[in-house]
Amino acid sequence: MWEDDDIMMNLNQQIGSIRALGKIEGLKNDVKMLRTVMDSVPLWRPGTRINKQCDEVIRMIGDLEERFEHKLVVTIIGPSGSGKSTMLNSLVGIDDLSEVGHLRPTTKNVVVFGREKGDADQLSAKLGKENVESQTSQAAPQLEHVLIIDTPDTDSMELEKHIPMVLKAIAISDILICIFDSENPKRKDHIEFLAPYVRLFDGDSLVVVINKCDRLEEEELQNKIAPEFLRFIKKAWERPVQTILCTSARRHMRDPQWDPTAVPKHDFDQFEELRNMIFGTFNHPGYIVDRRLENANTLRDFVFAETDSEVKKDLKELQVARDNIRIAEKKALGDAISTFISDDAKRMLSVNVLLYQKLSQRWMGPVGWLISIWARILIFGTGFVAMLRFGNPFRQLMGIVSSLRHFKESQAAVADIGKSERVNAALRDYRLAILREWPDIAETLVKGRFDPSVRKIEDVLPDMDALHGDLETIWNDSLDNTIEGVSKTLSGFLLQIVFNLPVVGILCHVGWMTAQNYFTGNYFSSDFFLHAFLTIAITLFLSFFLFQVCVRLAAGSDRIIRKAFNTVKQQVEQFQPLSRNSVGEQIDAVLGLEFSSPAADEGLRNG
């Protein structure tokens, strides 16, 4: 029975570990995705620092992942004389486990305290074997699932040597116990040293202890010193601190060796609460998994919060810059497109040619035949033979000789696109409009901590060849769609009946009369057929003339161009060539950073 319970407990622990590892991998992936975004915004200067933080957090979460099945690591850190070694000995219940003395620093290396000889091996590779000392004792059952690290003083004479070891020890810790001397808890150097690192720990993983509290008056300690220090450290560390424990570690040693002049002044002591926290709450396998998962989540939240803070600093400037860029490029594109609708006799005639070509494809009957003939006459009569040859006359509407790109013989014509004075003028107008606005936009970006290189307009303007193609495509598509729509309207079934009916009626009448008299042997003279032909021709040309009047009134060239231009202006509202440039894309990437709320984070953890 008991064996079955143990098996189920172990199985549940393994399943919990697997789930936790999956969540940790997800947290690590979140940071990697953030780093990818930072890589895409090299002009935003805070991105460099955030990238380094992302790398460090990814490494630290990786360390947590590697140590998932290892013992919980509790690190004690504090300045010289704060009582770290005494605290450790009292917690474990062995007076001489850690060396206590007045020579500073008492601890010269990172000392790992465990129960078994191999307990420190998992940390030696991270900290360096030369920097790690191992102390073990089978008489310390509290260390069954916990390793305690005693660190060198953060303010010793060998500071430069000790700090790297202390930092590495903090990085691999699951629980960080920060000890302060009650007689001088607000030591600025120690608090400032710890500030960047305490934010990497979940609230339950950070324990703040005021030691040697027995040397102060109890009322002053509880009502003044502890509350003031709690407010002070929250402000200094810029993060919530759940609680502060007041302890007297020495009184819990088997042989306290009191100085006769420094005996305890009172019995207020939260040492047992600290001991129960470490060896009661922390000291079991299930808690190890939970704690490392919480710390991994805190690491992820830390780098996201840092990024969020940096983005908020530049949010206003970058939003203004983005809005001004879009306003400038819309105006510039408007100026460029306006160049295409300037009065030009050839342009107007070209629109007519294209319209009649579309109509000739839709119309049937005698009027349709005449429309086709008229379209050919317009083409050859105006010298637009190239349009017939290449099959894509739309590019000539901008004064460009072009062709269908799918034909090899059109390459020469395509090469002539850039020689169009009208297109060059349009691109020049676009460039000038951007040049007028960019100095102010660039200064706003620099205030938003973009690299000063954004002041170089040459690095910001979109590729002119690409812009040329974009403008050309927008204009041609708009004009093509407009002409297509007009030709469809002017080719309605009822309209074709109305204009074809007089000619078809006369043709039917003449045909009927001719056939009837033919079968009766009564043949008409040539004058009849001449008059019939003239009547049909006059009626046909009159119908075609009236049709042309309708075309001119309903769809003149100027109307088609204006309608196409209005369509282009609507498309320009969404067309942002400058925003697609590296600078614009980086602005959008920075402004597009979104971070999970604490509630969303909780949902992710519970996922």
Enter the tokens of residue 67. Answer: 């140590």
Using one digit for the tens of pLDDT, what is the confidence trace for 456-510? 877 666 666 666 666 677 777 777 888 888 889 888 899 989 999 998 898 898 8
Phi/psi for 206 (5° steps) reads -115, 115
Q: Is 58 exposed, middle or buried (0-12, 13-18, 19+ CB in 10 A)?
A: buried
Separation CA 450–CA 582 (nearest Å): 12
pLDDT at 292 over 80: no
Output the CA–CA distances (angstroms, integers) from residue 571 to 53, 112, 556, 568, in the order listed: 42, 68, 23, 5
pLDDT band at 70 (very low <50, low <70, confident <90, very high): confident
Q: In what order do the strands lie in the sheet with 146-150?
A: 132-136, 110-114, 146-150, 72-77, 175-181, 206-211, 244-246
Q: Please enumerate in sequence order all residues whose Cβ is within 8 A of that of 521, keeping only pairs 6 or more positions apart, or say none.
A: none
pLDDT at 348 over 70: no
Alpha helices in 339-450 (DSSP H): 345-362, 365-381, 385-390, 411-415, 421-447
Q: Are 579 and 441 contacting, i.e. CB atoms less than 8 angstroms apart? A: no
- More confident site: 543 or 414: 543
Q: Is residue 468 within a helix (H) or strand (E), and if so which, with residue range?
A: helix 464-489
Tell me: domain 72-282, CATH 3.40.50.300, correct? yes
Q: What is the pLDDT of residue 34?
A: 92
- More confident site: 266 or 46: 46
Enter the tokens of residue 261. Answer: 């002049």
Using one digit for the tens of pLDDT, what is the confidence trace for 354-397? 888 888 889 998 988 988 888 877 766 544 334 433 344 444 44
pLDDT band at 443 (very low <50, low <70, confident <90, very high): very high
Q: Are 207 and 277 contacting, i.e. CB atoms less than 8 angstroms apart? A: yes
Count CA within 13 A, CB hemisphere, residue 486.
28
- More confident site: 327 or 344: 327
Using one digit for the tens of pLDDT, what is the confidence trace for 171-226? 778 888 889 888 888 777 778 878 877 777 766 678 899 998 888 888 888 888 88
Listed range (420-429, 436-445, 517-526) with the worst mean pLDDT: 420-429
Q: Are 115 and 138 contacting, i.e. CB atoms less than 8 angstroms apart? A: yes
Q: What is the pLDDT of residue 317?
A: 93
Enter the tokens of residue 578. Answer: 């400058």
- More confident site: 349 or 419: 349
pLDDT at 230 over 50: yes
Separation CA 94–CA 75 (nearest Å): 18
* Secondary-structure percent of the chain, ordered helix, strand, coil, rounded to 5: 70, 5, 25
Separation CA 218–CA 216 (nearest Å): 6
Q: How many CB atoms lie within 10 A of CB 177?
A: 25
pLDDT at 587 over 80: yes
Average pLDDT score over the chain:
76
Using one digit for the tens of pLDDT, what is the confidence trace for 562-585? 777 777 666 665 555 554 577 888
Q: What is the pLDDT of residue 242?
A: 66
Q: Kindly provide the b/e burial profile for residues 550-584, where b requires at least 16 CB atoms within 10 angstroms of the residue's own CB.
A: ebeeebbbeebbebbbebbeeebeebbbbbbbebb
Output the CA–CA distances (angstroms, integers) from residue 342 to 109, 154, 244, 294, 420, in the order listed: 82, 77, 78, 67, 14
pLDDT at 512 over 70: yes
Give domain limits for the chain.
72-282, 342-576
Give the total residue count for the chain. Answer: 607
Separation CA 23–CA 29 (nearest Å): 10
Phi/psi for 382 (5° steps) reads -100, 5
